Chain A
C-alpha cells in the first residue's frame, strides 16, 4: 500500500468513526451549556442503537430507524431531565443511572436482535463532483455515510444557534446564571429540558448511526465507551460545537490510528488520548481569567429554584 492511500484511508475511516462522536458531542454541549451535565450519553446511545437497528430491520428503511432512534433518545433523556431539573437530584448520580439503565434495558430488549446481519443498512455515497478532486476527494467525499455530512451540518447549525441567535444567548445565560435569566423572563426549566432533549435526540442519532450505518449489526453494549469519549470531548471542545467538530474527528483519528499503528505504538496510549487531553484542557481553563472566557458554564450541575440567591 502506498503511503498516500494509507493516509487517505485513515482520514476516511476517521470521518466514519467521528460521526457519532460529533453528533452526541453537539448534543452534550447543548445540555451542558444550559447547565445540565448528562453522563447518560452512553445509555442514550445504546437505546438509539437498538431502536435504530430494530426499526430499520422491521421497516426496511434505515432513515426511519435513525429518526425513531432520535425520538427514543430524546424521550429517554427526559428521565435525566426530570430527575435533575424538576426533582433537583444530583446530576452525576442521575446521569450515571441513565447510562446503567440504558445499557441494561437495551441489552435485555435487544437480546432477540443479537447476531442478525442488517440487510436494510444505510448505504454509503460518493459526493458528486467533490469526490473527483485528487487526494481530498477519496479522503473526504468518497464512500462515506450521508450521516457524516448531516452531522457536520448539525454541528455548524449548532454553533450558529448557540452564538448568533437570541435562543443561543438564552441557553448560555441559563447555564451561566439561571437567576439572571429567570429575572428576565426566560423559562429556565423549559430551556434546560429542551437542551437535555436535544442531547438525547442527537445521542439517539449517534447510536443509530453506529448500528445502522457503521457496524450494521446489534450487540449489547456495542457502543463500548463512545459515550464517555463524548463527555471528554465536550470539555476538549470548550463547550463550542465548532471545536467539537475538530475534536470529534481528531479523537476519531486517534482511535483509528490506535488500530493501524498497533505494530509500533501501544494502542492503549492513543485510546487514552481523549481523556488525557480533556484533563489537560480542564487544567488550562481552570486558570485565572481564561476560566471566565472559555471555562465550563458556571451553573453546570447546579439545580435552580427561584428565590434562592
Chain B
C-alpha cells in the first residue's frame, strides 16, 4: 500500500480528507462560506448542523456533484479536483444520499454494478458479482438478496444496498447523509454496528446529521456547521450534547418546552376502526381507533410511511376511508369533502407545506383567504373585498410574524419558516376545534420551530384538540400529552408522554404492541 501523506501536526494521525476554505454560492445564498474540515483516517466523523447549515452542500462538493467556487480539496494529503461523481469514485469516495439513489426497476445487483466496467466486456457476469456482494454483506452485516428488484425492498434494505454499492466500488471514504432519518431505532443500532466494523477495517466515515444523540453515540469527532461556516471541531468524548447544541444554534437552547399540565375537555374526535388505502391501492390504515380530547396534544409517532400521511389525509378529506369512521364531536366527517371538513372546524397543517399548504404563485394576501374567500367577510355579491383581504393580511402578518416585503409577495418567495407561519395563520383563524398538524417543524430553523411549537401549545391552552404527526421523536415527547405509536397502519399503543420511555417507543415503532412490550 502506498504511503499516506497529510499528517495533522498535533495528532500525528493521517488525514483522509482535508477541505480548505471551501466557498459555494447559489443564487441568493452562500451555502458554504470558507469551510475548513479535517477528517482523519479510520474515524467516524460527524457533520452536525441545522437544516440549511450547508452540510449536504459541502459533502456534495466532496462527492463531485457540485464544484466549489473557491477552496481546495486534499485527499490523503494530495490536492485533487473532483469534477464529477465519477472522479470522486475513482478516488474511492462513496456517498449514501439522504434520498437513496437506486433505480427501482433494476435488481439489487444491477444497481450495484451500474456504471461500472469491471473488465469483463459488455456482458454482465452475475455469478462473479453475486459472490462479491455476498462476501461484503456477510462481512459487514448488510444482508439483502441480490436478485430482488429494488422496488420490493424496505427502506432499511435499500440503505444496505446503497452501502454495498459504495463498498463494491472499493470506497474507503464513505459519506452518509442523514442515514438514520428513515430507520427504526433497532435499524439505527444495526447501522451503527456496520459503521463501526467499517472504520475498524480502516475505512473513514463522514456522517451528516442534525441529531445530537447520534453524534454522541456513533462518532469519534464532530465538526459543527452553522450558516455555512464550520464553527468548531471537537472530540466527541470531550464534549456534551449541551455544548454541541450551543455550537449548532449559536446560543443556549432550552431542551424542555414550558408546558402547563393538560386541561382535558370534551372529546373532539373519535376515530373508530378506520381503514384506508395508500396511493398504490394497498392498505395503509388497518383499523385505527383512538380519541382526541379538547385541550390535549396527541402525538403520532412512527417511522415514516406507516400510515401517518394517509391518516392526516383521511381526517382532512383528502383521501377516502375504505372503512370505519371519524366523528368530530357529533358530526360524522368520514368521507366528507375537504371543504365540508374545514367548515366543521378542522385545521390542516400539511406535510408538504408549499405544495399542499399554499398556492405558491399567489400572494400572501390571497393565500391567507383561501379557506374564507367565500364568506361574507371577504366576498360581497361574488366580488372579492380586496380591502378586507388586505387588512386580514396585515393583521395575520403582524400576529404570526410573517416577514415579507408586503402582503402581495408570492408565497413561493417566502422562506420555509414564513410559509409555515402563513399556513398556521390561515388554518388557525376561526378557532378550529381540531388541528391536524403533520410535521409542522420539519426543515424549519430554530426560531421558526420554537414559534410553531408555541402556537400549537397556545391552541391547546385555548381548548383545541391537536393531532401532532411527526417523525421527530423528541418533538413528540416534548409537546404531546399522549403518544400514539403507529406501525403499518395499526395502533401499537397509546402511552402517556410523561412516562414514555424511548426504548419502549422504539420497540413499538418497530411493530411490537404495547402489551407485549410491558410483559
Counting CB contacts under 8 A, is A288 at the interface? yes
0/1 per residue, A37-72, Cβ < 8 Å to B?
000000000000000000000000000000000000
Chain A interface helix/strand/loop/mixed = helix
Residue among A165, A173, A183 making CB contact with B85, cutoff 8 Å: A183
Taken together as a complex, chains A and B put the C-alpha atoms of A292 and B152 apart, in Å, by 10
Q: Which residues on A sit within 8 Å (CB–CB) of B99?
A: 309
- Listed in ascending order, the chain A residues whose CB lies under 8 Å from chain B are 161, 164-167, 169-170, 172-173, 176-177, 179-186, 288-289, 292-293, 298, 306-307, 309
- Contact A179 to B101, CB < 8 A, known contacts A185-B84, A292-B151: yes
Q: Contact between A170 and B114 (Cβ–Cβ < 8 Å)?
A: yes
Hey, what's the 0/1 contact readout for B329-345 against A, CB within 8 Å counting as 1?
A: 00000000000000000
Contact A185 B85, beta carbon cutoff 8 Å: yes
Task: List the B residue with the shortest CB-CB distance to A293.
Answer: B105
Cβ–Cβ contact A169 & B110, under 8 A: yes
Contacts of A180 in B (CB 8 A): 101-103, 114
Q: Tell me, rounded to whole Å, the shortest Cβ–Cβ distance linking A172 to chain B.
A: 7
B106→A166 contact, CB < 8 A = no
Near A by CB (< 8 A), chain B positions 349-375 give none
Inter-chain pairs besides A177-B103, A184-B101, 17 sampled, C-beta below 8 Å: A165-B124, A167-B122, A169-B110, A169-B113, A173-B114, A173-B115, A176-B105, A180-B101, A181-B103, A183-B95, A183-B101, A185-B86, A185-B89, A185-B115, A186-B115, A288-B281, A298-B104
Complex alpha-carbon distance, A306 and B66, angstroms: 8
**Which one of A164, A177, A288, A309 lies within 8 Å of B124 (CB-CB)?**
A164
Q: Are the C-beta atoms of A172 and B104 separated by less than 8 Å?
A: no
B106 touches which of A161, A169, A288, A289 (Cβ 8 Å): A169
Q: Mark B84-124, 1 if CB is under 8 A from A, else 0.
A: 11110100000101010111111000100111110000111
With A164-B123, A166-B122, A177-B101 already in contact, the answer to whether A186 and B280 are too (CB < 8 A) is no
A181 B115 Cβ-Cβ under 8 A: yes
Q: Write out the residue numbers on chain B whose beta carbons fall within 8 Å of the beta carbon of A167.
A: 122
CB distance from B322 to the nearest CB of A (A): 16
> Is B60 engaged at the interface, CB distance under 8 Å to the other chain?
yes
Cβ of B103 and Cβ of A176 under 8 Å apart?
yes
Query: Nearest-CB distance from A250 to chain B (Å)?
Result: 25
Cβ of B461 < 8 Å from any Cβ of A?
A: no
Q: How far is the CB of A306 from chain B (nearest CB, A)?
A: 6
B65 within 8 A of A: yes
Interface residues of B (CB under 8 A from A): 60, 63, 65-66, 84-87, 89, 95, 97, 99, 101-106, 110, 113-117, 122-124, 149, 151, 165, 280-281
Could you jot down 13 A-B contacts, CB within 8 Å? Answer: A165-B122, A166-B124, A169-B114, A170-B114, A173-B106, A176-B106, A177-B101, A181-B115, A182-B85, A183-B95, A184-B116, A185-B87, A307-B65
Whether B60 pairs with A307 at a CB distance below 8 angstroms is: yes
A181–chain B nearest beta-carbon distance, Å: 7
A-side contacts of B117, CB under 8 Å:
166
- Expressed in whole angstroms, the Cα–Cα distance for A176 and B165 within the complex equals 18
- Pairwise interchain contact B65-A183, C-beta atoms closer than 8 A: yes
A182 contacts which chain B residues (CB < 8 A)? 65, 85
Q: Separation in Å of the A161 CB from the closest CB of chain B?
A: 8
Nearest CB on B from A248, distance (A) = 24
Closest chain A CB from B116 CB (angstroms) = 7
The residue in chain B whose Cβ has the minimal distance to the Cβ of A182 is B85
B95 to chain A: which residues have CB within 8 Å?
A: 183
Establish whether residues A166 and B101, one from each chain, have CB atoms under 8 Å apart when the complex forms.
no
Q: Given A169-B114, A307-B60, A176–B123 Cβ distance below 8 Å?
A: no
Docked complex Cα distance between A293 and B122 (Å)? 24
Residues of B within 8 A of A306 (CB): 65
Residues A181 and B114 in contact in the complex (CB < 8 Å), given A165-B122, A166-B124? yes
Residue on A with the closest CB to B109? Answer: A169
Tell me the complex Cα distance, A167–B113, Å: 11
- Given A183-B85, A288-B280, residue A165 in contact with residue B123 (CB < 8 A): yes
Q: Given A166-B116, A166-B117, A183-B95: A172 and B105 within 8 A (CB)?
A: yes
A179: B residues at CB distance < 8 A: 101
Cα A307 to Cα B65 in complex, Å, equals 7
Bound-complex Cα distance A182 to B95 (A)? 13
Bound: A72/B14 CA distance, A = 57
Interface pair A292/B65, CB less than 8 Å apart = no
Cβ of A170 and Cβ of B65 under 8 Å apart?
no
| CB-contact partner of B114 in A164, A186, A293, under 8 A | A186
Q: Which A residues are CB-close (under 8 A) to B103?
A: 172-173, 176-177, 180-181
**Contact partner of B104 among A164, A165, A186, A292, CB < 8 A?**
A292
What 6 pairs across the A-B complex have the smallest Cβ distances? A185-B86, A184-B115, A180-B101, A165-B122, A176-B103, A186-B115
Q: Please give the distance in Å from A295's CB to the nearest CB on chain B.
A: 9
Chain A, residue nearest B95 (CB): A183
> Complex Cα distance A288/B151, Å?
12
A292→B107 CA distance, assembly (Å): 12
Q: How far is the CA of A304 from the CA of B103 in the complex (A)?
A: 15
Residue of A nearest to B90 (CB): A185
**A165: which B residues are within 8 A, CB to CB?**
122-124
The answer to whether B60 touches A176 (Cβ under 8 A) is: no
Give the docked Cα–Cα distance between A166 and B102 (Å): 16
- A185 / chain B contacts, CB cutoff of 8 Å: 84-87, 89, 115
> Which A residues touch B65, using CB under 8 A?
182-183, 306-307
